Amino acid sequence: MSMLAVIVSSAAPKTPHTQDVEWKKASPGFEWSFPRDHWSHDEYRTEWWYFTGHLTSEEGKEYGFQFTIFRVGLTPIAPSFESTWTTQALWMGHASISDLDGQRHLFSDVLHRSIPLLAGFESPSDSLISWGRGPTGTQEPWRLWWSGDAFAFSMRDDDQAMAMELHTAPEKPLVFQGPEGYSRKAEAADGASLYYSFPRLATEGFLELDGRRVRVTGRSWMDKEFGSNQLTGDQVGWDWFSLQLDDGRDVMLYALRDADGSVDFARGTVIGADGAATYLSKDEWSYESLGTWGSEASGIRYPHGWRVEIPDAALSFDIIPRMKAQENVARSSGGIAYYEGAVEVRVDGRQAGLGYVELTGYGEGNRPPI
């Protein structure tokens, strides 16, 4: 049992009233309303705001980054008794910077109860979407806000000597990942989420490494996903790819794996240069690993490099990590490890795009708590 599971179990208020209430499950026909749906949906058990991208400094140095805020629900209704520590949810922040020229990966994570003075999920009447106190010893909070037409976010970890402050502007409109944003995660109807993306966000701002502040520009990808039933049965994790191709198309692919390593369920989306989405079933795309990489920190061996085929879109390419060591080990939640890495898309050995890969559920005790 992971430490996060222990924390969830101990922090959740247990009263006869709350035990009778069930989490709302993702289902077709959700009535979207923007920008309101950029904020939290407390009736669903899990939710995350996820940004990854590639940035270049004024000196030409290249970086990859991740910024993610998670809401982990403890009860679908507000507790019926008052306490300073009673909360409806946990707030979790993960951030990483891959220094691609220096071949160095920095990671920071924070876990708080969603209570005053520690962390919170705000209402749509406020430009602030979510915030949380930084790691121990860091005064500056982590923040995500909506500026009226785009997202901005910031974080700092003084112990890791890393920080970011980034502002975005959409280059393409919002895209639903699945018909009307209903994203299946299993053949059975009880495995699904509600999911949308901004596949191309012009991004600018600052990164800070070892006390040196650098101005950066580039492009990022944003995912927003919420639900109560994403992983089902024997599923232990996923392989997920977000790819921005040089021809103007974008590709999102995910495969959910069972405990034996086989793919239980898979879906994908090809987004045209005009923003139109074409959805892919499990049979309409394929991928295979080209090798492996072993982490000295966790002892986990991850796939490393992939060949992807999407025949109906006339796409055949390789995905190659831009550096090997891009593993995140989340100390605040019991050492859960996963791979979050900047990648390059190659066709016949030549760069044809950039993207990110996320690999979860590898090794013992690393099944995501969703």
Q: pLDDT, tens digit, for every residue of 23-62? A: 999 999 999 999 999 999 999 999 999 999 999 999 999 9
pLDDT of residue 6: 33
Q: What is the pLDDT of residue 58?
A: 98
**Per-residue pLDDT reduced to its tens digit, 105-135:** 999 999 999 999 999 999 999 899 999 999 9
Percent share of the chain, pLDDT over 70: 93
Q: Where are the alpha helices (DSSP H) in the chain?
A: 3-11, 16-19
Span 230-246, average pLDDT: 91
Q: How confident is the model at residue 270 (pLDDT cuts 50, 70, 90)?
A: very high
| Separation CA 350–CA 357 (nearest Å) | 19
| 3-class secondary structure, 146 | strand
Over the stretch 134-190, which tens digit does the pLDDT of each residue have? 999 999 999 999 988 999 999 999 999 999 999 999 999 999 999 999 999 988 767
Instruction: Please tell me the pTM assigned to this model.
Output: 0.94
Give the mean model confidence (pLDDT) for residues 215-242. 93
User: Which contiguous run of DSSP H or E holds residue 16?
Assistant: helix 16-19
Structure confidence by residue, pLDDT tens digits, 359-368: 999 987 777 7
Q: How far apart are CA 92 and CA 362, in angstroms?
A: 21
Which helix (H) or strand (E) segment holds residue 305: the answer is none
CATH class in words for 45-359: mainly beta
pLDDT at 20 over 60: no
Q: How many residues does the chain have?
A: 370
Reference 218, options 78, 356, 28, 363; nearest CA is: 356
> How far apart, in whole angstroms, are the C-alpha atoms of residue 242 and residue 254?
9
Tell me if 76 sits within 8 A of 43, measured CB to CB. yes
